Amino acid sequence: MTDGIDRFVTPLYTLAEAGRYLGVPTSTFATWANGYVRRRPGRPDVHGDPIVTAHPARDGRGAAVVPFVGLAEGLVLAAIRQAGVPLQRIRPALAQLSRELGIKHALASRRLYTDGAELLYDFAERGGDDPDARSARELVVLRHGQRVFADVIESYLRRVEFADDGFVQLIHLPGYRDVEVLVDPRRGFGQPIFAHGAARVEDALGRFRAGEPLADVAEEFGVNQSELEDALRVASQRAA
């Protein structure tokens, strides 16, 4: 815990913010956080359990409900989604992964690197031609005699840094080309910050939106103008 922030418990982000930081729709992240029930006329309801850590909203839709660890879990799920594997079919594999590792927050754990691919492949092999097993196989490949995650997932997993307890403590946010933006619960109350200078991204963008010249804002916040332009590009795309 740092300055009263427990990265497993303290709510830091709304569902909309968490989705925006990871480049996924709010509705998608809300499904990950809250689960879902799909009702089909004349057929049994389809239920999906929550798959990222979040707290029930107590103060309306705009309340912060997602702790840092939930954002880290969402980063991996975003990778799975980008890999084209339907999440509703991979849920059983992820649940098996948590059981096999014997820990909570397996998706935010270093052990996802070290043991996850082999465990998912074993699950897939035991499942044979079951659709869930086939989906699990799509996430792992054989390389140098070892099972490893597909490249798209590995590229996302490389965006995290781990604390001594083996769980994620810092995220390099995806989507940026010219600037490095971090989420670190030890700084800026977990809001996105520039890697150089550690200023909050939203503070800098707010000054520009208030009418200050881009060059002046960049100088004041200690970033290059191209970096600030990149941050503006991403913010504009994700607000659309």
pLDDT along the chain (240 residues), means of 10: 83 95 93 83 77 78 90 92 76 80 88 82 81 77 74 81 95 94 94 94 95 94 94 88
Domain span holding position 240: 175-240
What is the distance between the alpha carbons of residues 37 and 108, in angstroms, rounded to a whole number?
25
Number of compact structural domains in the chain: 2
SS3 (DSSP) at 142 = strand
- Is 168 contained in some domain? no
- Is 153 contained in some domain? yes
**Judgement on whether residues 133 and 63 belong to the same structural domain of the protein:** yes
Handedness of CA 29, 30, 36, 40 (dihedral sign): negative
- Is 93 contained in some domain? yes
* C-alpha pair distances (Å), 168 with each of 9, 67, 162, 180, 215: 14, 12, 4, 18, 35
Q: What angle do CA 195, 107, 178 make, to 5 degrees?
A: 25
- Is 169 contained in some domain? no
pLDDT at 141: 77
pLDDT at 19: 95
What is the distance between the alpha carbons of residues 168 and 150, in angstroms, rounded to a whole number?
20
pLDDT at 21: 95
Q: Please choose, from the candidates 6, 153, 15, the residue with its C-alpha nearest in 3D space to the C-alpha of residue 75.
A: 153
Q: Please choose, from the candidates 238, 240, 175, 227, the residue with its C-alpha nearest in 3D space to the C-alpha of residue 201.
A: 227
**Judgement on whether residues 134 and 219 belong to the same structural domain of the protein:** no
**Judgement on whether residues 123 and 193 belong to the same structural domain of the protein:** no
**Judgement on whether residues 158 and 181 belong to the same structural domain of the protein:** no
* C-alpha pair distances (Å), 43 with each of 40, 102, 131, 186: 5, 35, 20, 48
